[in-house]
Amino acid sequence: MSQAIARKEAPLQQVPDHPLEDLIRSDRIPHIWCPGCGIGTAFAATLAAMKASGQDLSSTCMVSGIGCSGRAAGYVKLDSFHTTHGRAIPFATGLKLGNPRLNVVVFSGDGDLFAIGGNHFIHAARRNIPLTVICLNNLNYGMTGGQVAATTPYLARTTTTPAGNTEAPFNLPLLAWAAGASFVARWTILHIRELTDCIQKAMLKNGFAFIEVLGPCPINYGRRNKEKPLQTLKLYQEQTIIRNQADPSDLEIDFSKKVVLGEFVDKERSTCIENYDKTCRLL
Amino acid sequence: MTGDEACAEGALAAGCRFFGGYPITPATEIAEHMSERLPGVGGTFIQMEDEIAAMASVLGAAWAGQKSMTATSGPGFSLMMENIGLAACTETPCVVVNVQRAGPSTGLPTMGAQADMMQVRWGSHGDYEIIALAPCSAQEIFYQTITAFNLSERYRTPVFIMTDEIIGHMSEKVVIPPADQIRAEDRPKPQGRKDRFLLYKPGPNGVAPMPAAGDGYNVHVTGLTHDEKGYPVMSIEAQEQMMTRIKNKILNNLDDIIITEDHHLEDAEIVIVSYGISARTSMAAMQQARAMGWKVGFLRLVTVWPFAERQIRALAERVKAFVTVEINLGQIHLEVTRAAAGKAACHLVGHHGGAIISPDKVLAAIEEVL
Amino acid sequence: MMEYWRTPFDAQTIQVSQGIVHIIEDRCKGCGYCIEFCPKHILAFSPRFNKKGYHPPEVLQPDGCVNCHYCEIICPEFAIYSVEVPTAPGG
Ligand SMILES: Cc1ncc(C[n+]2csc(CCOP(=O)(O)OP(=O)(O)O)c2C)c(N)n1
Ligand code: SF4
Ligand code: SF4
Ligand code: SF4
Ligand SMILES: [Mg+2]
C-alpha cells in the first residue's frame, strides 16, 4: 500500500533510491543479520557518517574481523576487508601505514575487538594510530550462538554461563581511555543522530578514535536474558543518561542503574605516523 | 654482512616498503636492519605487539599497495599461521622469512634447524599452495629475497624464505649489484572498467591483477569462500572453484617457479637431495665422494615448495638411491620417498637440530648404500 | 505542537516538513522499530507477507509524515526512507 502511495505521488522512474544506496552492496542485501539485530542500524549510521564527513570515499576503507558485526565489511561498497577473528585492528594498522592517505574505519564486534583482539586494541590506542574503531557491543558472541564475552554483564546467561556469568565485564571506554585513545564515546542504536554525528566527528579526528555502540542481539543474548528487542530498546531509552566528558571510571554497563552515554574523550595527541615522520625520516 | 642483513638488503632492493615485525632470535637482525633502512627509502617499519599482529599488518600494507614482509622464527611462525591462510585465501602477495631454529616450542633459540619445512607447507588449515625458497648463503639470501618478492607479486601468493640460524647469523661476502641490474617485478594492475572488475578473475597465467585500496575498485576481500568478484558464497561449487584457482595458479606454472641446481647428475647412481644450509654439507660430501670415484650427484632444491616432484620422479627411473640431507628428522625426505615411488631407495641423513650435519655422516650413509 | 514518542534531542533543529515514505518491502525483516519509533505513529505492520515471509510496514496516514527520517535511520535493513515533499504555500 505504501509503495502504491509513493508511486501515485511520484511516478515510478522518479522513486528516489535509499539515501545510502550508493554505499551499500545492494546485490548482497538483505544481509545476514537477524530481525531486530542492532548491527544493521549501527552499520547504517556508519555509512551515513562516512557520507556526511565529506571525506573522499574512494579512499575510505572498512576493515572488520569475524563475527556477526564483522560481516559489516561485506556490505559496504567501498574497499572493504573481512579479515580474521580479532585481527581487524592490526590489519587496519598495516593498511593505514601502507598508505596514510586512506581513511580507515574498523567495524567489528565486542568479542572480536576486546577478547581475542584486546591486545591489538590497546596497542593501537597507545600508538594513536589514526583509525576510527566502531565496536558493536551486543554483550555476547552472537555469531557462534551466544557465548559469554568479555563484555557480558555479571550473572547474565549465555550458552557457556548457563548459571549466570561469574566474571566482571570490561568497561570499554575506560579501557580505551587508559590505553591512550584520542577520542572515546558510547551510544546506543536508539541514539542514532548522536551516533551518526559522533562517528562523523571520529572520522575527522586525526588519531585513534573509539566508539562503543550498544545494540541488541535478540536471537542469542536477548532470548536467554528475557529481553525482547523492543524491550532492549526501551532500556536504551529509559536506563541511559547522556553525560559528555563523564569520568571514564563511571561507565560500567549495568542497566539496573543508569548507563552513561556521550563523548568522554576528545583530545589532541600526535599520531604514530606524525611521530615516525618527524623522528625517523630526518634525512 | 650476515645472512639476516643480506635478507633485509634484498628486500629493499626488491622494493619492499613495509615491514611489520616482532623480535625473535635468530630473525631479529632483519627487523633491526629494516627499522634503520626503511624510513630513508620512504617505507615504514613497525614493531607490532606480537607475530599475529605483525602478519596481519603485512597483509594490510599489501592491500595498501606496498610490497610488504615480516621475518620470524619457530614460535612466531606458529603464531602467524592463521593470517598466512588468509593471505593464501585472499591471494595477497607478501614475503615471510623464517630463520629456523630448533624446536618444538622454545627449543634452542640460538641454534639452527630446518624443521619447519612441513609447517611452511601445511601450517595453516585447509588446502592451499605456497612458494618456499631455501637459500644456502648470505649472497643467495640477497638474491632469493628479490626472487621471493617477484614471485609473490607475480602469483599473488605468500612466498617464504626458509633460512636458518646458521646462515642468518653467519657473516659472508655479499655483493649488492647496482639498482639498474636488479629486476623488481610489480603486481599487475587491473585495466578497464572499474565497475566490471573481478578481483579474482584469472589472467593468462592464472592470476588476477590486483588493485590497491584507494584505487577506486571498491574491492571486497574476505577469508570466507568467495567467487571471482570476491563476494562470499557458501557453496560447494564456489569452494571448488576457489580452491582450483588457488592451486592451479601454482601447479600450472611449476616450470616458472621451481628452481633446482644439478650437480653431476648425468652419471650419478646416488643422488643427494638437500636445501638451505644442508646444501653446503651435501656439496662437500658430493665432492669428496667424487674424489673417491663414487658416482654421486647432488640435486639442490632452491625452491622447496612447490616440490620438485617431476625431477625426482625422472631421476628415480635411473638412479639407485636418494640420500636426503636436512636438519630435521625427515620432512623433505618424505616427499622424496613419495616422488621416488619405490623406484629408487630413499635414505635420510637427518639431525635432531642445533647443529649442521657434517659431510662425513653423508659419506657414511652413501657408503652403506654402495 | 507535534507529538513525539520521545522528543528527539535535536527537536529544534529538525526541519518540520512533509515527507513521503518509501518502503522496499522485500528488504524488511519485520522488526517493527520504524513502527514503534515513528514520532507520528503513522506506520503499522501490513497484513501482507514479503518474499522472506515478514510483514513489512505500511503507511496509515500518508499526510502525517513529517519527514524526520527516524524510520530511515533506525531501520537495520535499508528498507524504509522518507523524502521531502515541497510544503504547499500556507501549509
Ligand atoms: C580464531 C577463531 N576462533 C574462533 C572463531 C569462532 N568465532 C566466530 S565469531 C566469534 C565471536 C564473535 O563475537 P563478536 O565479535 O562479539 O561478534 P558478534 O557475532 O557478537 O557480532 C567466534 C568466537 C573464529 N572464527 N576464529
Ligand atoms: S545472532 Fe545476534 S548478533 Fe548475530 S545477527 Fe543475530 S541478532 Fe545479530
Ligand atoms: S519520516 Fe518516518 S519516522 Fe518520521 S514521521 Fe515520517 S514515517 Fe514517521
Ligand atoms: S525498521 Fe526496517 S526492517 Fe524493521 S519493520 Fe521497519 S522497515 Fe522493516
Ligand atoms: Mg558480540
Question: What number of other Cβ atoms are within 10 A of residue B369's Cβ?
Answer: 15
pLDDT-derived band of residue C11, with 50, 70 and 90 as boundaries? low
Angstrom distances, CA of residue C41 to CA of B356, C4, C34: 81, 9, 9
CA distance to partner chain A, nearest, from residue C58 (Å): 5
Strand partners, B68: B18
Please return the burial class of A256, using the count of CB atoms within 10 Å of its CB with bins 0-12, 13-18 and 19+.
exposed
Q: Could you tell me if residue C57 is inside a domain?
A: yes
* Distance in Å from the first CA to the final CA of chain C: 15
Q: Could you tell me if residue B251 is inside a domain?
A: no
Q: Could you tell me if residue C91 is inside a domain?
A: no
Q: Are residues B176 and B266 in the same domain?
A: no
Which residue is closest in CA terms to ligand 1's atom 26? A85
pLDDT at residue B38 above 70?
yes
Q: Torsion angle of alpha carbons A152, A158, A160, A163, nearest 10°?
A: 100
Report the distance separating Cα A170 and Cα B146, nearest Å: 46
Cβ atoms of residues C57 and C46 within 8 Å: yes
Q: In terms of pLDDT, which residue wins out, A82 or C8?
A: A82
Stretches in chain A below the pLDDT threshold 70 = 1-13, 283
CA distance to partner chain A, nearest, from residue C82 (Å): 9
DSSP string spanning A30-91?
S-SPPTT-SHHHHHHHHHHHHHHTT--GGGEEEEE-SSTGGGGGGTBSSEEEE--TT-HHHH
pLDDT in tens, B294-317: 999 999 999 999 999 999 999 999
Does ligand 4 lie within 6 Å of residue C34's CB atom? Answer: yes
Q: Residue B309: name the closest of B320, B322, B290, B296 by CA.
A: B322
Q: What are phi and psi of A27, to 5 degrees?
A: -70, -10
Q: Could you tell me if residue B63 is inside a domain?
A: yes
Q: Residues B95-111: what's their mean pLDDT?
A: 97
Binary contact (A102, B61; C-beta < 8 A): no
Instruction: Write down all domains in chain A, each with its CATH number in brackets.
Output: 21-280 (3.40.50.970)
pLDDT at residue C2 above 70?
no
Binary contact (B214, A90; C-beta < 8 A): no
Report the distance separating Cα B59 and Cα B83, nearest Å: 8
Q: Could you tell me if residue C74 is inside a domain?
A: yes
Considering its fold, how many domains does chain B have in total? 2
DSSP three-state, residue C19: strand
pLDDT at residue B105 above 50?
yes
DSSP single-letter state for residue A258: P
Q: Residue B95: name the closest of B8, B6, B209, B207 by CA.
A: B8
pLDDT in tens, B307-366: 999 999 999 999 999 999 999 999 999 999 999 999 999 999 999 999 999 999 999 999
Q: Of B181, B205, B222, which closes a domain?
A: B181
Q: Of B181, B212, B230, which closes a domain?
A: B181
Give the pairing of strands A209-214 and A132-137: parallel
Q: Mean pLDDT score of chain B, rounded to an integer?
A: 98
Cβ atoms of residues B307 and B257 within 8 Å: no
Does ligand 2 lie within 6 Å of residue A264's CB atom? Answer: no
Q: Could you tell me if residue C13 is inside a domain?
A: no
Report the distance separating Cα A43 and Cα A20, nearest Å: 11
Q: Residues B232-245: what's their mean pLDDT?
A: 98
Nearest to C23 among A2, A189, A242 (CB): A2
Does ligand 2 lie within 6 Å of residue A219's CB atom? Answer: yes
DSSP three-state, residue A13: helix
Within the 222-261 window of chain B, which residues sit less than 8 Å (CB to CB) from chain A?
222-224, 231-232
Please, which residues have CB within 8 angstroms of residue B272's CB and are 6 or more apart in sequence? B282, B285, B286, B296, B297, B298, B299, B322, B323, B324, B325, B362, B366
CATH code assigned at B40: 3.40.50.970
CA distance to partner chain A, nearest, from residue C20 (Å): 7
Distance B140 CA to ligand 4 centre (A): 63
Q: Residues B100-126: what's their mean pLDDT?
A: 98
- Chain C residues with CB under 8 Å of a chain A CB are 6, 8-10, 20-27, 29-33, 36-37, 46, 52, 54, 57-59, 62, 70, 72-78, 81, 83, 85
Q: What is the pLDDT of residue A4?
A: 40
B5: cell is: 642483513
Q: What is the pLDDT of residue C86?
A: 75
Which residue is closest in CA terms to ligand 4's atom 6? C34
Report the distance separating Cα B148 and Cα A222, nearest Å: 51
Residue with cell 567467487: B227
Dmax of chain B from CA atoms?
68
Does any CB of chain A come closer than 8 Å to the CB of residue B214? yes
pLDDT-derived band of residue C4, with 50, 70 and 90 as boundaries? low
Cβ atoms of residues B6 and B142 within 8 Å: yes
Please, which residues have CB within 8 angstroms of residue B177's CB and are 6 or more apart in sequence? none
Cβ atoms of residues C54 and A252 within 8 Å: no
Cβ atoms of residues A121 and A129 within 8 Å: no
CA of B82, closest atom in ligand 1? 1
Q: What is the pLDDT of residue B18?
A: 99
pLDDT at residue C30 above 70?
yes
pLDDT at residue B122 above 80?
yes
Q: At what angle do helices B359-369 and B277-291 cross, to 10 degrees?
A: 50
Binary contact (B214, A119; C-beta < 8 A): no
Report the distance separating Cα C47 and Cα C44, nearest Å: 9
CA distance to partner chain A, nearest, from residue B278 (Å): 35
Mutation target to probe the A interface, by most A beta carbons within 10 A, among B17, B19, B44, B79 is B44
Binary contact (A30, C29; C-beta < 8 A): yes
CATH code assigned at C42: 3.30.70.20
Does ligand 3 lie within 6 Å of residue C82's CB atom? Answer: yes
Q: What are phi and psi of A281, to 5 degrees?
A: -100, 45
- How many inter-chain contacts (A to C, CB under 8 Å) are there? 100
Nearest residue in B to A129, CA atom:
B46
Distance C41 CA to ligand 3 centre (A): 8
Q: Could you tell me if residue C90 is inside a domain?
A: no
Distance A65 CA to ligand 5 centre (A): 11
Query: Chain B contacts of A90, Cβ < 8 Å?
Result: 20, 48-49, 52-54, 56-57, 60
Q: Mean pLDDT score of chain C, rounded to an integer?
A: 87
| HEC string for C54-81 | CCCEEECCHHHCCCCCHHHHHCCCCCEE
Strand partners, B221: A81
A105: cell is: 574505519
- Chain A residues with CB under 8 Å of a chain B CB are 25, 27-28, 58-59, 61, 63, 73-74, 77-84, 86-87, 89-99, 101-102, 119-120, 123, 276, 280-281, 283
Q: What is the pLDDT of residue C13?
A: 55
DSSP three-state, residue A234: helix
Considering its fold, how many domains does chain C have in total? 1
* Distance in Å from the first CA to the final CA of chain A: 69
Binary contact (A9, C85; C-beta < 8 A): yes
Q: What is the pLDDT of residue A205?
A: 98
Does any CB of chain A come closer than 8 Å to the CB of residue B110? no
Residue with cell 515514505: C21
The interface predicted TM-score of the complex, written ipTM, equals: 0.98
Q: Which domain holds residue B16?
A: 3-181
Within the 34-73 window of chain A, which residues sit less than 8 Å (CB to CB) from chain C?
34-41, 43-45, 48
CA of A33, closest atom in ligand 2? 5
Which residue is closest in CA terms to ligand 3's atom 4? C68
Does any CB of chain A come closer than 8 Å to the CB of residue B205? no
CA distance to partner chain C, nearest, from residue A12 (Å): 12
A233: cell is: 530498546
DSSP single-letter state for residue C88: P
Question: What number of other Cβ atoms are within 10 A of residue B116's Cβ?
Answer: 23
Please return the burial class of C53, using the count of CB atoms within 10 Å of its CB with bins 0-12, 13-18 and 19+.
exposed
C25: cell is: 518491502
Does ligand 4 lie within 6 Å of residue C31's CB atom? Answer: yes
DSSP string spanning A185-209?
EEEETT-HHHHHHHHHHHHH-SS-E
CA of C43, closest atom in ligand 4? 6
Q: Which domain holds residue C25?
A: 19-84
CA of A136, closest atom in ligand 2? 3
Q: Could you tell me if residue B308 is inside a domain?
A: yes
Per residue in A93-127, is it b (16+ CB within 10 Å) or e — as a string? bbbbbbbbebbbbbbbbbbbbbbbbbbbbbbbbeb
Q: What is the pLDDT of residue C17?
A: 87
Q: Are residues B133 and B14 in the same domain?
A: yes
CA B100 to chain centre: 12
Binary contact (A95, B61; C-beta < 8 A): yes
Question: What number of other Cβ atoms are within 10 A of residue B184's Cβ?
Answer: 14
Question: What number of other Cβ atoms are within 10 A of residue A69's Cβ?
Answer: 33
Please return the burial class of B188, using the count of CB atoms within 10 Å of its CB with bins 0-12, 13-18 and 19+.
middle
DSSP three-state, residue A243: coil
